[in-house]
Amino acid sequence: MKDKKANKNVKTPKYIFVTGGVLSGVGKGITAASIGAIMKAKGYKVSIQKCDPYLNVDAGLLNPVEHGECFVTADGRETDLDLGHYERFLDFETNKYSAVLSGALYSELIEKERSGGFRGKTVQMIPHFTDLVQEKIAAAGQGSDIHIVEIGGTVGDYEGLSFIEAIRLFANRVGRENCLYIHVVYVPWINTSKELKTKPAQNALKDLRGFGIIPDVVVCRTERPAPRSMCEKIASFSGISSDAVLNLPDIDSVYDVPFNVLKSGVLEILNKFIGDNSEPDMKKWQEFSEKRAQNYDRTVKVGLVAKYVGNDDTYICVTEALKSAAAWNGVNLEIEWINAEEATEEDFAAVDGLVVPGGFGERGAEGKIRAATYALENDLPYLGLCLGMQMACVAAARRGGVKNASSEEFGAGEGQNVIYIMDGQAGKESTGGTMRLGDYPAKLKNGSRAAEIYGKNKVTERHRHRYEVNQKFASEIERGGLKIVGTSPDGKLAEFVEAPGHKFFVATQAHPEFKSRPLNVHPLFFEFVKSLK
Ligand code: GLN
């Protein structure tokens, strides 16, 4: 969508701060992203940022089972999966400023201190840490009409206090009238007494007030739609106008949250804040919502061959890309989780197509190689993402005569290392932020399936890998059924492989799932799902 009103109505950014109370994980990120989507649909240039109080420097070394998928920005920052939600809801690209972690801020301060940058001053949480948070917010918001900042965790968490202080101080920097504070609280339903309990929310608001912030909007998250009296009670106990306390109950799909926000009364407050009553243009959202909710005659079954099964968050960009590809293709989607460690031919035969996503380490690798072999030999659609491409090349090389072909990541030596470590990567295997990360271009062979799918032969995709295809084995890989059809512009790195004449067998060293959006689904996912119909 064109940012038709960019920088017209709003001179300096307006800032929206989203904090949480009572519990974490009640949809603060989705609320923030939905508000962003609405503001974008009103024609504004919107940016969004997440501040997390962890001591990690980035999300690259966090366990994906505990923490969910690691999202990668175009400029190569390994971040929290919330940035993936932001990109999906706003159909834009976040960057290294969009994720602020305490660990990175502390490192920056300590580095400055060590190099004498503080000129003898005592370095303190206030003002030095809080100033740095504010600088990061200002930097991330630069050039936008509206900048949204989500603070991770809940207000009152010991490690998050300095972020709360920083966003309070931010109003002094830019003017309170340019800041809108939204506090998202959870209101539990107690089944035994059949009532909604507002006390935790009241306490959460008291906490926030204690840190000097009186929110402009309180969003009450409930399991089911709540009566207006709940909001009024919270308002009266916390001294906030009852028009500003709103209910957002759970709904089936996160993509319907923008519509819920519109219905909730939040829009009126946002309109007043930015001084613009125009209607957001939600046509495309509406179309997607209808397509997604429909029950179609045809259901496609996709087998996701993965190491961590059953946890949607671990492969969230992949599952979201598949879901939107199914909606735009007009089919119902069933995702069958296939445990890579135990995957058998019966599992593969029971689905319409296979996706082998990215991953690290040897566990489950043989199952992924079996999946690719089966797909090659049975004309079963296959989409390989990063490790999914590497294992497809190993499968093809084995078929092409390289006995015991494998990856150097799993200890394969000379003669078997169809996948080997990239130049300059040896010795960095367990370090953070050192992989080949972010956007890199690739050129595709004219006439290849990949070029046809993209509709062009120069593409840019996000990356996150340390190993690559060893092109010394290109002819064995080809004998085994796969052709290298895309490389880095200098030809050195294999970026895309495909099986000529196959129903659909395309694999890439990249992570196209990071660029798929509900309103703008990635062509590889769209065509993969189309091939299953
Ligand atoms: N482990 C492989 C590598 O480092 C694949 C990485 C991935 O799938 N993201 O190259």
Residue-by-residue pLDDT tens, the chain, 533 positions: 444 445 445 468 999 999 999 998 888 999 999 999 999 999 999 999 999 998 999 999 888 888 889 999 999 999 989 999 999 999 999 999 999 999 999 999 999 999 999 999 999 999 999 999 999 999 999 999 999 999 999 998 999 999 999 999 999 999 999 999 999 999 999 999 999 999 999 999 999 999 999 999 999 999 999 999 999 999 998 888 999 999 999 998 999 999 999 998 889 999 999 999 999 999 999 999 999 999 999 999 999 999 988 778 999 999 999 999 999 999 999 999 999 999 999 999 999 999 999 999 999 999 999 999 999 999 999 999 999 999 999 999 999 999 999 999 999 999 999 999 999 999 999 899 999 999 999 999 999 999 999 999 999 999 999 999 999 999 999 999 999 999 999 999 999 999 999 999 999 999 999 999 999 999 999 999 999 98
- Measure the N-to-C terminal CA separation of the chain; round to a whole number of Å: 30
Amino acid at 315: Y
Ligand 1, atom 7: closest residue by C-alpha: 358
Task: Report the atom number in ligand 1 closest to the C-alpha of 419.
Answer: 10
Whether residue 513 lies in the annotated active site: yes
What dihedral angle (degrees, nearest 10) is formed by the CA atoms of 472, 476, 478, 481?
A: -140
Q: How far is CA 381 from the centre of its chain?
A: 25
CA 108, CA 92: separation in Å to the nearest integer? 28
Q: In what order do the strands lie in the sheet with 332-339?
A: 332-339, 299-306, 353-356, 382-385, 505-508, 494-498, 483-487, 436-444, 458-465
Tokens of 250: 């759970």
Looking at residue 11, its pLDDT comes to 64
Whether residue 317 lies in the annotated active site: no
For 465, list phi and psi in degrees, rounded to 5: -155, 160
Q: Which residues contact 374 (CB under 8 A, 6 or more apart)?
A: 345, 348, 349, 354, 380
Q: In what order do the strands lie in the sheet with 14-21?
A: 99-101, 46-52, 146-151, 14-21, 179-186, 217-222, 245-249
Q: Parallel, antiparallel, or unpaired for β 467-469 and 71-72?
A: unpaired
Looking at residue 66, its pLDDT comes to 83
Q: Give, for ligand 1, the residue of 390, 419, 508 to mutate: max count of ligand atoms closer than 8 Å to Cβ.
A: 390
Kindly give the distance from the C-alpha atom of residue 344 to the centroid of ligand 1, in angstroms, as a whole number.
23
Task: Report the atom number in ligand 1 closest to the C-alpha of 467.
Answer: 10
CA 5, CA 191: separation in Å to the nearest integer? 48
Kindly give the distance from the C-alpha atom of residue 360 to the centroid of ligand 1, in angstroms, as a whole number.
5
Where does 314-365 show beta strands of DSSP type E?
332-339, 353-356
Q: Parallel, antiparallel, or unpaired for β 436-444 and 382-385?
A: unpaired
pTM to 2 decimal places: 0.94
The catalytically annotated residue of 85, 511, 522, 527 is: 511
Q: Map 449-508 to HEC letters.
A: HHHHHHCCCEEEEEEEECEEECHHHHHHHHHCCCEEEEECCCCCCEEEEECCCCCCEEEE
Assess whether the C-beta atom of 409 lies below 6 angstroms from ligand 1: yes
Ligand 1, atom 5: closest residue by C-alpha: 387
Helix axes 28-41, 266-274, angle to 10 degrees: 60
Whether residue 511 lies in the annotated active site: yes
The catalytically annotated residue of 386, 495, 498, 522 is: 386
Kindly give the distance from the C-alpha atom of residue 435 to the centroid of ligand 1, in angstroms, as a whole number.
9
Kindly give the distance from the C-alpha atom of residue 358 to the centroid of ligand 1, in angstroms, as a whole number.
6
The domains found in the chain, sorted by start residue, are 14-287 (3.40.50.300), 296-532 (3.40.50.880)
Looking at residue 424, its pLDDT comes to 95
Confirm if 393 and 386 have CB atoms less than 8 A apart. Answer: no
Kindly give the distance from the C-alpha atom of residue 388 to the centroid of ligand 1, in angstroms, as a whole number.
9
SS3 (DSSP) at 523? helix
Tokens of 173: 């920097």
Q: Parallel, antiparallel, or unpaired for β 406-407 and 189-190?
A: unpaired
CA 46, CA 5: separation in Å to the nearest integer? 11
Q: How far is CA 323 from the centre of its chain?
A: 15
